[in-house]
Amino acid sequence: MRLAPGTEVTLRIDRLSAGGRGVGRLNGLAVHVDDTAPGDVIRARLIRLTGAHAEAELIRVEEASSDRVTPRCPHVGTCGGCRWQHLDYRAQAAAKEAAVREHLRGVAGHDQVPVRPIIAAGDPWHFRNKMEFSFQPPDRVGLHRRGRWDEVVDLQTCFLPSPRTVTVLRVVREFIRRHGVACYDTRIHQGFLRHLVVREGHATGELLVALVTAAGPFPHSQDLAQALHREVPGITGLVWAVNASQSDAVEVSAVSVLDGRPFIYERLGGLTFKLGLLTFFQTNTTQAERMLEVVREFAGLRGTEQVLDLYCGVGTFALALAGQAAEVTGIEALQAATEAARDNAALNTITNALFYTAPAAHLRWVLAPRGHPDVVILDPPRAGAGVGVTREIGGLAPRRIVYVSCNPVTLASDVRDLRSRGYEVTAIQPVDLFPHTDHVECVVQLERTVER
């Protein structure tokens, strides 16, 4: 058979790719297809062929996998929020664990990669403590359509956040339709309402609602506040933030409090954290708590150590470890985050945690007055730490590194470099913080094998 775009083929899906698509083989060609499960026999139409790989769109499932389930959400297939709802959750967790093993095979320095069984979510629904929704004319509010930056699915429900967040979504939609408030069009950069952000404290029950708009007056804002108080229990604060730029990210130049206060409190690991509109915090509180327990275990502190927390954010790991260390130093490039970390330290009466605003690669300059750390906590963004940072860490020669990763690909690259600098992987713990997606968190323990 001559294969070309438009050709219809039948194939069996035998695995999931790192990007979450099902993969089947056809005449030696790896064919990637969305919305499929290992064990499916499908009919698909080829879209793109490049070398030994191809992409195809699903036409129909001819023989369903035993791992296939009926998606719970009516928006599956159009909404880009979660793409694995057609997979039984146990199969999702197994696929993520397998992906970690695959990416770290040959990197850890062992014939058998020391990967522990994944810590799966106890309940894969209603786990998100923060949601960012977008607006689109004339009156849509929801999440972006799969694969589209300029189109929004008008969500009637969502099973990722709590039901209270869905109620907020409904109330805001009714508000814009009742008052005719203009929604922002990202294609022509006109309109007023841009984003709706809902942040919830799972441990405290507090709720923060934020409307992000273009510049200009906000008519009927008090009507919205009254409607939310009437229909949504426990709202802690309603804020209005202005994004005067053309960027579609949630960027703000000014924040006004319409009702209540501009932050909520959340508890994690026995600590209390203050969270505002833009504060970075893990979006799955329950699983973040379990990941924090792994970090504590892998750090193996005895009360005498100097600890460095790189990419420390608002101090989640640093503050959680402070009670088991002599001193913890956090370094973060964003000044707002380090200021929040200092506030959280004060909030929890922690006096042995210091926070500095600096790029991670400048860590030796920051640490010069304090000496070499015994343990380094490394939690970089998806792009990884990179050679510049791993070289600096290697120069400090801590006896132990605990690497927290949200991307197995960049994790593998950084671990390979750290091994070349005298470290051995001793434990790997995958954690699922994002059910119904292919994203997986991973905590890696590395021990120094050579003397300083």
The CA radius of gyration of the chain, in Å to the nearest whole number, is 24
Element (H, E) at 224: helix 221-231
**CB-CB contact of 126 with 132 (8 Å):** no
Kindly state the tokens that stand for 202: 């799972």
Judge if 117 and 139 occupy the same domain.
Answer: no
Ligand-binding site membership of 379 (annotated): yes
Last residue of a domain, one of 215, 244, 268: 268
Q: Per the structure block, which two tokens stand in for 98?
A: 């397998």
Kindly state whether residues 324 and 384 are assigned to the same domain: yes
Could you give phi then psi for residue 273, rounded to 5 degrees? -120, 140
Domain of 172, CATH number, reads 2.40.50.1070
311 and 436, same domain (yes or no): yes
What pLDDT sits at residue 368? 77
Query: What does the pLDDT read at residue 109?
Result: 60
88 located within any domain: no
Closest CA to 268 of 246, 251, 287, 245: 287
Residues 249 and 219 reside in one and the same domain: yes
Pair of tokens at residue 379 = 């939690």
For residue 71, being part of any structural domain is answered with no
In a domain, 197, yes or no: yes
Neighbouring residues of 90: CB distance < 8 A, sequence distance ≥ 6: 120
Q: Are residues 174 and 231 in the same domain?
A: yes
- Domain encompassing residue 240: 130-268
Structural domain count of the chain: 3
Distance, in Å, from the CA atom of 235 to the CA atom of 237, rounded to the nearest integer, reads 6
Q: Are 120 and 94 in contact (CB under 8 A)?
A: no
Same domain, 28 and 105: no
Contact present, 287 and 433 (Cβ < 8 Å) = yes
Do 260 and 209 lie in a common domain? yes
Residue 40 lies inside a defined structural domain of this protein? yes
pTM of the entire structure? 0.93
Instruction: Mark whether 289 and 422 lie in a shared domain.
Output: yes
Does residue 31 sit in the same domain as residue 51?
A: yes
68 domain residue, yes or no:
no
361, two tokens:
């690669």
Whichever domain contains 22, its CATH number is 2.40.50.140
Task: Give yes or no: residues 241 and 141 share one domain.
Answer: yes
Is 89 known to sit in a ligand binding site? no
80 in any annotated domain: no
**Which residues are catalytically annotated?**
406
282 marked among binding-site residues? yes
Instruction: Count CB atoms within 10 A of the CB of residue 105.
Output: 14
Task: Map residue 95 onto helix, strand or coil.
Answer: helix
- What is the mean pLDDT, run by run of 10 residues, along the chain of 452 residues? 88 88 92 95 95 93 96 93 94 94 78 86 97 96 93 96 97 96 95 97 97 94 94 94 87 91 96 94 96 98 97 96 97 94 97 96 85 94 94 95 95 94 95 96 94 66
Sorted by sequence, the CB contacts under 8 Å of residue 145 that are 6+ apart come out as: 78, 79, 80, 151, 152, 153
Looking at residue 268, its pLDDT comes to 96
Residue 161 belongs to some domain of the structure: yes
User: DSSP assignment of 136-166, as one string?
Assistant: ETTTEEEEEBTT-SS-EEE-S--SSS-HHHH
In this structure, what CATH number is given to the domain that contains residue 352? 3.40.50.150
Q: Could you say which of 236, 268, 300 is where a domain stops? A: 268
Residue 277, domain member (yes or no)? no
256 and 315 belong to one structural domain: no
The whole-angstrom separation of Cα 396 and Cα 385 is: 15
Are 50 and 148 contained in the same domain?
no
332 is in an annotated binding site: yes
Residue 123: exposure state from Cβ atoms within 10 A (0-12, 13-18, ≥19): exposed
pLDDT for the residue 233: 87
